[in-house]
Amino acid sequence: MMMRFEFGDAVRVVRPLRNDGTVAGLKRGELLVRRGSIGYVREWGTFLQDQLIYQVHFLEVDRIVGCRAQELIAADVPWHRGEFQYGDWVICLHALTVNGLPVVSAGQQGQIQATDQGERGECYTVVFGERWFQVPSSALELCEEVS
């Protein structure tokens, strides 16, 4: 177990951080910090004597979160964040068709299930209703408030 980051280092979180039940006042599974966010190491410690946990302050959301080493990279390392991440609710901006038949209407809400950076840019696997579709980022918009 070797420390990768020191006090004050700027770090980027590479996956969305969700409440595992340890953050009071928030529901379990609620998003704490979006992937790609930059924070600063405050201190570090161990969990179960074999995992290094960094206490990181994310200034943008003014939240301090415990992060495992594999969830962090140095902030100056090249990073392509993408617009959306797993679990985000999105709105389809255009009708989607299969063999000329409309299957998803413009304005319909869906949820991101996977991300991919293909040859022609970013695309996402989105579930609309019970059907899964691979959709380019240009056809989606983040839906901030979905219950």
Q: 57 is in which domain, residue-wise?
A: 10-74
The 3-state DSSP class for residue 137 equals: helix
| Predicted local confidence at residue 58, as pLDDT | 94
Of residues 118 and 114, the one with the higher pLDDT is: 114
Distance CA 78, CA 72 (A): 13
**Number of domains within the chain:** 2
Phi/psi at 70 (5° precision): -70, -10
14 and 57 within one domain: yes
Candidates 51, 43, 41; CA nearest to 72 is 41
Q: Is residue 5 part of a domain?
A: no
* pLDDT tens digits, 60-103: 999 999 988 888 889 988 776 667 777 888 999 999 998 999 99
Does the predicted model carry a pTM greater than 0.75?
no
For residue 138, being part of any structural domain is answered with yes
> Does residue 79 belong to any structural domain of this protein?
no
Cα separation, 110 vs 122, in Å, equals 17
CA 7 to chain centre: 25
pLDDT at residue 147 in the model? 40
Question: What pLDDT, in 10s, does the model give residues 20-56?
Answer: 888 888 899 888 998 889 999 998 887 777 778 899 9
Same domain, 17 and 61: yes
The pLDDT score that the predictor gives to residue 146 is: 44
